[in-house]
Amino acid sequence: MDKTFNILNELLVENFNDLISIEQKALSEGEFSDLSITEIHTIEAIGMYSARTMSEVAADLDITVGTLTIAINNLVKKGYVERRRAEEDRRVVLIQLNKRGKLAYRIHNKFHMDMIKATIEDITEEEEQVLVKALEKLNNFFKEKYHLPQGKKENKV
């Protein structure tokens, strides 16, 4: 058990650190070098297809609307997001990705898809299910132990 514990600890820490470094490096060297990791995750939370309210996106990111406003101001200035008032209630602010924002979203999503494909390549369906179960347990531990918001989707393989 100690050997497995040490191996898992080393792999989880190394993978986490590598993922952060790779995302930062990809952003700093690519077409979207003006984006931070936080900004790309904000773009991801806004989503591709429809306008969303500031409140919806802030809730998804588990931040205040005020904090999101600062991020959106920067993303509007950088040319990734459009903001407008809702016609039916002018107090409601809608945000959505413009063409450049959607391209950033797609490229970031491809990075994640490539990572997942590489992870499950050449493993059996049973091994996939074990991997998903282990990662769900880890995710649930973090959420319960550190009072993080629960995810919206149930994962089924």
What is the spatial distance between Cα 91 and Cα 84, in angstroms, rounded to a whole number?
Answer: 10
For residue 56, pLDDT over 80 is answered with yes
The stretch 36-61 carries a mean pLDDT of 96
Q: Is 147 helix (H, G, I), strand (E, B) or coil?
A: coil
Enter the pTM of the model.
0.82
Q: What is the average per-residue pLDDT within 64-77? A: 97
* Count of beta carbons in the 10 Å neighbourhood of residue 125: 9
Q: Mean pLDDT for the chain?
A: 91
CA distances to 6, 32, 70, 117 from 24, in Å: 27, 11, 21, 20
pLDDT reported for residue 91: 92
pLDDT, one tens digit per residue, over 33-46 is: 999 999 999 999 99
Q: What's the pLDDT at 26?
A: 81
